[in-house]
Structure 1
Amino acid sequence: MPEEPEATASTGVRGSAAYDLVIRRAHVFDGRQALAGLYDVAVDGAQIAFVSAQPLRGRQEVDAAEGWVMPGLIDTHIHFYDVHAVSGPDSMRAFEQNELPGRLGLFLDHGITTIKSVGDPTGGILDTRAKIAAGTLRGPRLLATGCGITGRDGHPAATVFSGNPWARERFTGEVDSVQQIRDLVHHLADRKVDAVKLLSEGACAHSGGPKYLWRNPAFPDGVELERLPLDLLRAGIEAGHERGLRVTVHTTQQVAAREAIEAGADGLEHGVTVEPLTDHSLIDLMLEHDITYTPTLWIDDAHPDARGNLKKVADAGVHVALGSDTFSGRGLFGANTLEEAELMVAAGMAPTQVLSAGTSGAARQCARPDLGTVSPGKRADLLVLNADPTADIGNLRDLRMVILNGELTVDKR
């Protein structure tokens, strides 16, 4: 049932002063629900100032014409650098000069105002983050874990990067002792990463146990892997928490998901994809530990159980965050995020659930309470749409404007 926002202005005025920007006469999805009626949304600087049922005045005004305003979308799981093209200093530099700016722009053009990189070369992605923050590079807000941390010869080191040793050293952090994983997590924390990502490749045994043959269309012969040993998994999570960082874990199988949660993980990347989720106590464990589940259907929809597993956890009330697992070489950055939202609806989630997963739920996953909702004091990352996304998730594609940090960034009028 649509509700009025708690922080609606009673009169919509603040003396004779005007706001920096006012979006007039819009339906609003506030990050959790659709609000009843039409509203003016006022922005001052980089923040939302008011959501008012009464008219507001702005130095700049945009008529939404009874379209929709919602928070900018957040994609919590992307791989930005081209894992195929980057194989040395020259190709890295060429990518950053020739490809990177346009790919950043694609996210904004599709209404994605924040992206979280979860396995790019640490130095490169943090330099890119700094340039965006300084305003010398146009792009969405960028959050980053730096390299993904995996066991020695684990995924993706021994899979995606098996033939690219230069990139392997930079995109992944391979560890084989508790001290190594603790040192690496603290090193990343010293470099001010936004979170930590560990990889516990699902469906395979611990070190010392039987090998698991990892299969993927790109590797038809399979690759033998071992899962990150439990003591290293626990140590990596503990070290991240010591530095105040959320730690999410790549899993694909129920036993790996349970292990990650019991070790203290804050979220699951992919979750359970390679088998049906039959262990109902695992869902209870997700709820008990306040886990965020990121289904990445854009890459995992080929698994026949991925959609059904997502519906089970969503129906149970587990927190879900939108994350596409976008990487170079397939689809189009930005468009892939919208496809992820559509796949989540196809899996059985309601459009409002998916919109929440891509806004307030994603902000929760990223530990950014300033993002993901349309309410006073929050960051003014806003989309103006021509049609109702709560009725049809495909209406995310009917984008009129993108506002990032209070600035009109994309105007498709």
Structure 2
Amino acid sequence: MHRKAETTAGAGARGPATHDLVISRARVFDGHQALTGLYDVAVDGAEITSLSAEPLRGRQQVDAAGGWVVPGLIDTHIHFYDVRAVTDPDSMRAFEENELPGRLGLFLDHGITTIKSVGDPTDAILDTRARIAAGTLRGPRLLATGCGITGRDGHPAATVFGGNPWARERFTGEVGSVREIRDLVHHLADREVDAIKLLSEGACAHSGGPTYLWRNPVFPDGVALERLPLDLLRAGVEAGHERGLRVTVHTTQQAAAREAIEAGADGLEHGVTVEPLTDHSLIDLMLDHGVTYTPTLWIDDAHPDARGNLRKVAEAGVRIALGSDTFSGRGLFGANTLEEAELMVAAGMTPAQVLAAATSGASRQCARPDLGTVAPGKRADLLLLNADPTADIGSLRDLRMVILNGELAVDKR
């Protein structure tokens, strides 16, 4: 669906006569839908200041020649520090010195201008965020939850980090009481994290028996887990909301998803992956509560029901955000995000729906209304593509230029 932009030629005249940057004669996907016709997009400083059907002047002028301008992509679910390589202080230092800068750059090279870390070591990821914000480290805008919060002996503390107490203490926050989870959420809020992530369960189906077993090819016998008790789940969400933070919850089953929503969660990380989504009242609950569903097909596509469940919630009108669950050691940062977009289309979403999930939908999930939209007053995170991504999501790979905070970050012309 195409529409005319509400901002017309006259809007350009209200701004400066000459803008810092103008991308001229571009087709535009504004974060919600494609606009009809060609537009000039003007940037001053770090902000979009005009979207005009009439020509604008810029001190720096880029001729789009009918190419497509879209908002910079947002990946709302990544794990940046390598969970396999970072096992002690020396290996963390080596990762930060030798691997971290290049891997940050990969996101920009693929058009991802904002990433949200959902379970990295708190001190380390917040230091990385500060270095990027200060301009001493090149990378996309970094949002972070700090450690993921789980129950005692929950996932991933007892699974991914079960054999490494040093990493377990830094990547995860294990809590055993309402007081402990409230204190940890408030501690993270004091550190100025961007959101809170709670883990309700492991990435596996639970038969309903007395033991909750996490099964993974790496652990063929299974690992006995404790789920995050419901009173702790509610207390964690409540404490996050007291501090004005969005709280998302790692779920994989319908029962856990329902618990999270009824506890007040703002979003589901993974959603329902390990079983078919048969409870239509759960979808109604997502709609009633305005919950965001992050499908993470890049990691969960092996589950036979993951695509069908995404198709069901998308067709019902549930809010969707793109998040790949990408982590070091598998695939390639940035490229994994584009693969996630392609998998979402393969699951039955339209390219335009997926673009919205990766831009305006993701900005809502991140509580960053300044991002994810091509409109005056929004942050100038922009991609210039050679082909129409609303016709073929693969056009995201045909990238000409990346602009981050109004500055040219990648030029592939």
- Is the Cα contact below 8 Å between 1:44 and 1:406 reproduced in 2? yes
Structure 1 stretch displaced more, 334-343 or 6-15: 6-15
Counterpart CA distance in 1 for 2:11 and 2:398 is 32
Q: Which residue of 1 aligns with 2:257?
A: 257
Letter paired with 2:195: A
2:287 is the counterpart of 1:291:
no
Counterpart CA distance in 2 for 1:4 and 1:334 is 31
Q: Which residue of 1 aligns with 2:151?
A: 151
Deviation of residue 224 (structure 1)? Answer: 1.0
- Is the Cα contact below 8 Å between 2:119 and 2:148 reproduced in 1? yes
Q: Which residue of 1 aligns with 2:343?
A: 343
> SS of the counterpart of 2:293?
strand
Deviation of residue 9 (structure 1)? Answer: 3.3
Counterpart CA distance in 1 for 2:184 and 2:380 is 35
Q: Which residue of 1 aligns with 2:92?
A: 92
> SS of the counterpart of 1:271?
coil
Deviation of residue 29 (structure 1)? Answer: 0.2
Counterpart CA distance in 2 for 1:340 and 1:230 is 31
Q: Which residue of 2 aligns with 1:248?
A: 248
> SS of the counterpart of 1:198?
strand
Name the count of aligned residue pairs.
Answer: 411
Q: Cα RMSD over matched residues? A: 1.2
Q: How does 1:260-409 map to 2 (within 5 A)?
A: 260-409=260-409
Structure 1 stretch displaced more, 395-404 or 2-11: 2-11
Deviation of residue 225 (structure 1)? Answer: 1.1
> SS of the counterpart of 1:60?
strand
Q: How does 1:118-197 map to 2 (within 5 A)?
A: 118-197=118-197
Deviation of residue 210 (structure 1)? Answer: 1.1
Counterpart CA distance in 1 for 2:389 and 2:195 is 30
- Is the Cα contact below 8 Å between 1:205 and 1:226 reproduced in 2? no
Q: Which residue of 1 aligns with 2:4?
A: 4
Letter paired with 2:114: T
1:368/1:16 Cα in 2 relative to 1: closer, same or farther (>3 Å)?
A: closer
> SS of the counterpart of 1:389?
coil
> SS of the counterpart of 2:103?
helix
Counterpart CA distance in 2 for 1:142 and 1:83 is 18
Counterpart CA distance in 1 for 2:106 and 2:219 is 29
Deviation of residue 218 (structure 1)? Answer: 2.1
- Is the Cα contact below 8 Å between 2:72 and 2:381 reproduced in 1? yes
Counterpart CA distance in 2 for 1:281 and 1:6 is 37
Letter paired with 2:109: D
> SS of the counterpart of 1:180?
helix
Letter paired with 1:159: T
1:288/1:11 Cα in 2 relative to 1: closer, same or farther (>3 Å)?
A: closer
- Is the Cα contact below 8 Å between 2:11 and 2:50 reproduced in 1? no
1:212/1:374 Cα in 2 relative to 1: closer, same or farther (>3 Å)?
A: same
Deviation of residue 229 (structure 1)? Answer: 0.3
Counterpart CA distance in 2 for 1:336 and 1:97 is 23
Deviation of residue 7 (structure 1)? Answer: 2.4
Counterpart CA distance in 1 for 2:143 and 2:16 is 39
Structure 1 stretch displaced more, 275-284 or 88-97: 88-97
Counterpart CA distance in 1 for 2:246 and 2:15 is 43
Q: Which residue of 1 aligns with 2:411?
A: 411
Deviation of residue 204 (structure 1)? Answer: 3.9
Deviation of residue 13 (structure 1)? Answer: 3.0
1:15/1:339 Cα in 2 relative to 1: closer, same or farther (>3 Å)?
A: closer
Deviation of residue 10 (structure 1)? Answer: 2.4
> SS of the counterpart of 2:41?
strand
1:266/1:15 Cα in 2 relative to 1: closer, same or farther (>3 Å)?
A: closer
Q: How does 1:182-261 map to 2 (within 5 A)?
A: 182-201=182-201, 203-204=205-206, 210-261=210-261
Counterpart CA distance in 1 for 2:346 and 2:195 is 30
1:15/1:300 Cα in 2 relative to 1: closer, same or farther (>3 Å)?
A: closer
Q: Which residue of 2 aligns with 1:55?
A: 55
Letter paired with 2:24: R
- Is the Cα contact below 8 Å between 1:204 and 1:226 reproduced in 2? no
Counterpart CA distance in 2 for 1:5 and 1:120 is 40
Counterpart CA distance in 1 for 2:352 and 2:45 is 29
1:15/1:301 Cα in 2 relative to 1: closer, same or farther (>3 Å)?
A: closer
Under a length normalisation based on structure 1, what TM-score does the superposition of the two structures give? 0.98
Under a length normalisation based on structure 2, what TM-score does the superposition of the two structures give? 0.98
Deviation of residue 14 (structure 1)? Answer: 4.5
> SS of the counterpart of 1:70?
strand
Counterpart CA distance in 1 for 2:220 and 2:17 is 65
- Is the Cα contact below 8 Å between 2:117 and 2:145 reproduced in 1? yes
> SS of the counterpart of 1:81?
coil
> SS of the counterpart of 1:13?
helix
Counterpart CA distance in 2 for 1:376 and 1:272 is 37
1:16/1:168 Cα in 2 relative to 1: closer, same or farther (>3 Å)?
A: closer
1:28-70: CA deviation from partner (whole Å, max 9, x where unpaired): 0000000000000000000000010000000000011100000
> SS of the counterpart of 1:283?
helix
